Structure 1
């Protein structure tokens, strides 16, 4: 018997890299009749403790995150896939890994920018952290760039 996926996660921030993975995630969810979870993480932690009203900035991050997951929901609906959306706050990779555990995700599909060498070493990537630390398979989809 082959692998079955019931819950697939696509983390998205609406970037071209994340968008490159949406079609793959939707196709896999349709193939396995799986629920597709679209998660966008707004890391607003660097605004905590500032002596200023940052609510407008945080609302902007939340709005962008909501737009990103709504796009996945629309793509899923067009393919007849059940999509559950979520917007959460926190460091991206840690928040995604927690979501994977909390929602019994079977597969993560994530877009990647394809950094190499020193740039990858210095900046790291969410996709890289997920591949190294997730307890489930992580399918990385390189952007077309």
Structure 2
């Protein structure tokens, strides 16, 4: 039988990522797995030019991290508080790269994530985070299209 001891749930705090939580909880319960909920704050310095003062960019980045911490607490308290074995983590960097790094450093067995996110020109230029993870992950990745989930009863 396959052992899934550690599940990584990369969460971008959108309504679509919240829809995936029941699947994360269900698989965690079935396999008695620890859940790692991860949010990656995009490193804003890569978007800065020489016309934007570095101090302003740092302040904006710090505010983004503080906002992420508040959202993580809200989602954790509303949806994962009763989960006995879970860890939450917020880091700054490139989302796809940091997810793969976390898979490796935490010895994750399964990644569960949504297939939503970037659209239009942003998707064309940067690609899909889920697509990158599926291609680069050393462990299985369960992708869920939140738009195809059954309506709540």
TM-score (norm 2): 0.79
Helix, strand or coil at the partner of 2:147 = coil
Whichever of the two has the greater Rg, that structure is 2
Structure 1, unaligned stretches of length 5 or more? none
Q: Could you say what the CA RMSD is over the residues aligned between the two structures, in angstroms?
A: 2.7
Q: 1:51 aligns with which of 16, 41, 53?
A: 53
Do 1:76 and 1:82's aligned partners in 2 also have CA atoms closer than 8 Å?
no
2:36 counterpart residue number: 37
Whole-Å separation in 1 of the counterparts to 2:123 and 2:7: 26
Matches within 5 A, 1:88-99: 88-99=91-102
User: 4+ residue stretches of structure 1 with deviation over 4 A?
Assistant: 47-50, 114-123
Do 1:26 and 1:81's aligned partners in 2 also have CA atoms closer than 8 Å?
no
Structure 2, unaligned stretches of length 5 or more? 149-153
Do 2:117 and 2:128's aligned partners in 1 also have CA atoms closer than 8 Å?
no
1:3 counterpart residue number: 2
Q: 1:86 aligns with which of 83, 86, 89?
A: 89
